[in-house]
Structure 1
């Protein structure tokens, strides 16, 4: 509070001085050097071995996705339709759903694929699945060996690998696109490579964690039996970590789908393209239908991988009749072969019948949102104005309109208070580099939106997280909703928010809150639920009221979970605020988008992307440092509370009469 008060006093006398604000289209020597670097890379495609190698990888990705697309989604000339038509693809996908999971998943897969076609987006949906499939396949082939090395404690490079994974998971999704387009080209190559880069860390981290946490007793038993390291890995560690590895695969698939959708901005094929076209026209209905199909695809893939991870356990418990299952699989395979043959011979089975259902739904959504916006325009405007007046504008004035050195010193002081020396060092390095990148003012505007959105996220997280932790019924209702919210790609969140609030910075903030709230709420709920029941019982025996129990016992003891929720909320918000540059958020997000849109602005876009990465690293490191600062304070505070005479509710001292 002392730092903040001193900052406000200084700002009152120095408002608007040395803010390092720059005109939107102004270039700097640094931006020019970055653009020159881009030009040099493009000019050396035929001579530079590194660039030749990356473009060769990009060409392989193009060839692989093109071949798969001609198989299932686009005409394979001179054949006027794909090699396998919609009926064969639907039948094969349904059979695979039953083979890896169960009949319920097979029905879900069949219904999902049929919906893609009925709504008129069969080809786009198949293209998105192709990009996701290729990226996930590469992520598994590359990630599993690295996960084994990571989980078994390899001696060389593990620290470097951890730092690289931290950087990849801290970096907002939009920032991946710039350097990848430069070295791999646009289209399918960029879509696959950026999707791979974003989807790789989850499987390495989660699968490695599962391998590393196999019971030490079991490992000792295998050692005493004389097993080699290879036998121990193949016969003990991997089988016992199977469930965790499948969770990592699930997260990799979700990450890949999310990034493959966003890759539409660099001409990546799939459902992201119609969403992006509609967003640029402010066509809510046109964006809604493909956006909901992306959600449906995410739910289908999530449920399929989750059910597949439980398949072996169910079979081991005798949950299925093996003989009946083999008969159904055999009969289903015959049906698949017949469907594939028909799809190659009959036009009606090769090309999905045309339908105007998607157009009618889009028109209905436009009408509905038109009514909502006209009816609630005053309310949404009041909410936007209130948040802007009370939070956004004052914080922006403080961060962006103070002299840059005043803001920098204040942020360093806050980093030290929150994270001590570790937080101070990380903040000093990141802020110095942000100044050198010549986008300080835009960075502070972005940080303003991030902080306001994170504050709103944490308010929701505390309210609903505490409610879920204290009520089993609320948890049962809300947790599936939050799980579904986490499967929705971030791009999709812009659609309804854009309709309600029009293209403004507030639109990006609201979309960020909706996107980041599920993970923060779940982390807070899980942290509070983990507080020892005996501690709660002891607090109740001293006469604690419900509010005292929450604020003086549960929240202090769940401090690390709260810090983690804040950390993840900040990073999710930062990622979404950048995507909000597409809908009027301005600041660094706009600079990145401008760099993609105009070749002469590439240097500024690259500098903006690097600045966003530095903001993410700064936020992540300070939050991590905060989680490690004196951990015994919360315990001491709680023990003091339990030893003290806490006023009973209704007594004159309690103030709760």
Structure 2
């Protein structure tokens, strides 16, 4: 019989006898491999630049482009699109005759401006509070006082119809991608296609299928406004705490019960952000809709731009901003109130219903009076708009003269320090060198998951016969996205950590996102001239607000318990931001980068109008000349492929970094392609 020997006590073990923890060999950092690829690229470029770049001038096209032009011209309206167009026309015409345009023999709409203002104010109070009711009333009155009542109502109708369709179509898709990763991959691919393809490109197809007018405006607006609500709402539903999901599973809830009772209510804030982004995206299509005779405020803006009258374009442009702020604040306040009521807060429901019922009496009186009194049916004419326009023109002349030197210095610094060297490397390299180098960079940065998208997108760019132009756009896109994310991190963190800062900056962001790019292109052109930098500035102004809001939302969403735990350990503000808030908001940062990139790409065509050339010019030229429609389509598809490639590489890199952050386990022979 053997006797078991007790293990020695811990205190009796020699310190030197305790083996050190195993450490795996650390692999070479990714940034080193990036430098290696760039060094090799530059070395080969230095002896081969200017050869096999596949350069194609703006008026040249290949046989492939000619065949595409023939195919585009072969499409025409069909019974399905005619039914859809008639349905949209019926809705829009009914609403326009109700609140916007005269209905003969009446010289005014069925409900005059006084009745519309009264109804809108009552709705603002019913779904939110008195402050929102006053905001709604002031916004509607401004539409009339500046002489744009009919155009404003037209834009509100087109936007409301488009957003309604976007919600009906988009929210089920958001739920689907939240519960099914496989469906999410395919749906996200379609969203990338919609969001990155320039609106002028699918405007060509929509015009062929639906003709001109309201149906084309609604369909184009819907296509552009759909992705934000699907992406952002899907992210919010999917990002609900796994611990909460496990708790609901342990109670035996079904998937529909979990969605309706847990995930969707907990993602309410993010869903509202998605709805707001959809509304603002729809409003930003006002000018594009005016190109195909779509009703709304885009028409006076476009007319002013053709006359190079900044002030005349500014007034309706600012009214678009006012409408965007009104809709944004109303939806946000309505969401906050419903959440507060669901938790048992807010005022007494019976008293509120009584107040709403009493307020219906003056609303009904206002509607009745607006049908029988011409002064309450049609807004009286004023000179406010012209006065503001003249003041704006005078101020703009003074401003451009004062900052002309500083603006030129900044433009030169970015152009010569960043844009020109990168463009020389990307566009003046032989196409096969750029292809190989970009593929290697995609693999180094994103790992194996980035290989297939990079290969497919780069191959597609080559086959579309616009490689040189695509490299120029890639260069501008990378620079603009970098500037967008710098602004997003600085301002987003600031807003997320301070409610006061958020209240001050958010209206500015709403203005930047909703004011038509064509309006602020006039002063930007005056400052920088028709150059690539002008296009980059326009893209940054348009893309930064969405990215900043998403970063701020992610920072604000970090639990207070986690923040307090960090502060209790003596963390500084910088450590709290970099070690706690930004890592925990990683999902929002990735989404902000994704949205910033896609918004930048959506401005490529407008960049082509202000001297950027390349793919943007190709799209515009193809839209204006039917013989070159194929080249315009190829340019639009090239923009889409660029967006998908960069997006997939960034997503793969973020997932790779997140996995490494979670695991933190020793690795042997860490390879850069994992």
Unaligned runs of 5+ in 1: 46-50, 640-657
- TM-score, normalising length: structure 2: 0.82
Q: 1:261 to 1:301 in 2, by over 3 A?
A: farther
Cα contact 2:198–2:604 (8 A) shared by 1: no
Q: In the TM superposition, what is the alpha-carbon distance from 1:20 to its structure 2 partner?
A: 1.3
**Counterparts in 2 of 1:551 and 1:326: CA distance versus 1, 3 Å:** closer
Q: Could you say which residue in structure 1 is the equivalent of 2:542?
A: 515
2:58 equivalent to 1:24 = yes
1:116-141: CA deviation from partner (whole Å, max 9, x where unpaired): 11111111111111101111222233
Matched-pair contact (CA < 8 Å) for 1:521–1:565 = yes
Query: Is 1:7–2:41 an aligned residue pair?
Result: yes
Q: CA deviation at 1:334?
A: 2.0
Q: Structure 1, residues 213-268: CA drift from partner, whole Å, max 9, x if none?
A: 594467558747xxx88778777776676666555443332332233453223322
Name the CA shift for 1:418/1:477 in 2 (closer, same or farther; >3 Å): same
- Larger displacement relative to structure 2 (558-567 or 385-394): 558-567
In the TM superposition, residue 386 of structure 1 has moved relative to its aligned partner by: 2.2
Deviation string for 1:589-627 (max 9, x for gaps)?
Answer: 122122222222222211111111111111111111111
Change (3 A) 1:218 1:493: farther
Are residues 1:347 and 2:347 paired? Answer: no
Counterpart among 118, 128, 139 of residue 155 in structure 2: 128
In structure 1, C-alpha distance between the alignment counterparts of 2:363 and 2:421, rounded to whole Å: 63
Kept after mapping to 1: 8 A contact 2:419/2:476: yes
Calculate the aligned-residue CA RMSD, in Å: 3.6
| Aligned ranges 1:97-108 → 2 under 5 Å | 97-108=124-135
Within a 5 Å distance, the mapping from 1:324-363 to structure 2 comes to 324-363=351-390
Q: Which residue of 2 aligns with 1:34?
A: 68
The equivalent residue for 2:110 is 83
> 1:183 is matched with which residue?
209
- How far apart, CA to CA, are the structure 1 residues paired with 2:439 and 2:71? 32
Distance in 2 of aligned mates of 1:323 and 1:69: 35
How is 1:172-321 mapped onto 2 (pairs within 5 angstroms)? Answer: 172-207=198-233, 213=240, 215-216=244-245, 219-220=248-249, 223=252, 245-315=271-341, 317-321=344-348
1:354-392 CA-partner distances (Å, limit 9, x unpaired):
111111101110000001112222222222222222122
Q: Provide the residue aligned with 1:458 in structure 2.
A: 485
Give the stretch that moved more between structures: 76-85 or 171-180: 171-180
Distance 1:264 1:132 in 2: 13
For 1:481 and 1:246, locate their aligned partners in 2 and report how far apart those are by CA, in whole Å: 16
**Given the superposition, is the C-alpha separation of residues 502 and 291 from structure 1 closer, same or farther in structure 2, using an over 3 Å criterion?**
farther
In the other structure, the counterpart of 1:405 is 432
Following superposition of structure 1 onto structure 2, how do residues 356-435 of structure 1 map, counting pairs within 5 Å? 356-435=383-462
Deviation string, structure 1 residues 421-470 (Cα, Å, up to 9, x no partner): 2223211111111111111111111112112212322333444456667x
Return the offset for 1:208: 5.1
Q: Does 1:94 align with 2:121?
A: yes
Q: Distance in 1 between matches of 2:492 and 2:228?
A: 25
Q: Give the aligned length.
A: 624
Q: Tell me the CA shift for residue 564 of structure 1.
A: 4.8
For 1:552 and 1:232, locate their aligned partners in 2 and report how far apart those are by CA, in whole Å: 32
Which of the pair has more CA radius of gyration?
2
Kept after mapping to 2: 8 A contact 1:380/1:500: yes
How far 1:71 sits from its partner (Å)? 1.9
CA distance in 2 between partners of 1:150 and 1:396 (Å): 37
Structure 2: runs of 5+ lacking an equivalent = 1-34, 667-674
Q: Equivalents in 2 of 1:232, 1:559: separation in Å?
A: 25
Question: In 2, distance between residues paired with 1:229 and 1:462?
Answer: 36
Does the 8 Å contact 1:564/1:627 carry over to 2?
A: no
Preserved contact between residue 188 and residue 267 of structure 1 (Cα < 8 Å)? yes
Q: How far apart are 1:78 and its partner, in Å?
A: 3.5
1:606 is aligned to 2:640: no
Which of 147, 168, 190 is 2:194 aligned to? 168
